[in-house]
Structure 1
Amino acid sequence: MSSAPVRFFLFAVMSLMLLSGCASNKPQINMDEQQNFAAIKTFYVKPPLNSVNVTLENQLESAITSIMRGKGLSPVAQADADIEVAFLPTTARKQDGKSVSLGLGTGVFGRTTGISLGSIFSVPVGEQVSEYQNLQIDVIKNGSFIYSAAGSAELDASDNISVQRALSDLVRELLEPYPATNKAQ
């Protein structure tokens, strides 16, 4: 038994894992490693710069406040806060160029002969548009960014309830790595 098929299989599996990793919507998170996060006790959530939907903004502010409280911080007025948490929600649409290739051909495959579909011409299947909810959260201390996270979630539907759920999940995902000031989260 040859090890070539085993090597090919392992190579194929590794390639698929690499490709699936590249296609994911993994959030981008960066923080100032020199910052003493344990010394931060209070925060203030700033309203977004792009005010569009007050209900969703209030829900985002509530979700951010809840998570930051869970990290051991207390919400206070802007003048009394150690840090400010800013957020910027946006929506994006991505078009997929999906099509079906049609054609008829014959071929010889090993010991068998058969008829197969080829790619003589390509027919668009329809406009495939995916809608994404993007969110950026920045934590600012004394005018400098100490934590920044950005991510996106693909929306199954564009109604406000679906957007609200996607944003809540995204807030949790983006703030999960933020260091807690208390050890018992």
Structure 2
Amino acid sequence: MKKQVFKAFCLFIMMAAVVLTFSCAKKTIQSDPSSNGSEISQAEKDARDAALKAEELARQQSAIEEQRLKDEELKNRETAQKKAARELFENKDIYFDYDSSELTPIARMALKEKADWLSENPYAAVTIEGHCDERGTTEYNLALGEKRAISAKNYLQDLGIADNRMSTISYGEEKPQVRGNDEASWAKNRRVHFIIR
């Protein structure tokens, strides 16, 4: 009889455990999907998505601003380089020997650089000014200045620069680069100067 009571007691315990397990499972299954817990998690998800979108937008705007600054810096650098090249073109005169309109090897090298610049800047036109030192008559120096300017122009034409982009003028001795009555001053005044127009 003790065995039967023990068996009944064990059976009762097992039944209670099964009932308890099923009742707990039912509560979990039957929980309401529209309860506060799921509403909070959906709101949290929406907030997280909005935060991620805001971060991505901020990253994109930062990248766009960084690229704009790089482009602006590059443009400024290119503008400065173009300005420096233009100033070098205008400020680098070519020089001649006394009473001569023959181009020296150094003058030819300088004209080659000028031809390269003019080729890179096809809309630029140039005035070629011929100058002389103060020795000689006014008429003679005007003619010699013109020969010097034409000599430079012809060389540039040989290097492929169109005639209609160049004009010449002679100032003779009227516009000296350096004032003085010595050979060093005269040598600096025997020149051709270039003006971009």
- TM-score, structure 1 as length reference: 0.28
Greater strand fraction, Structure 1 or Structure 2: 1
Flag the structure with more relative contact order, 1 or 2, with Cα contacts below 8 A and sequence separation at least 6: 1
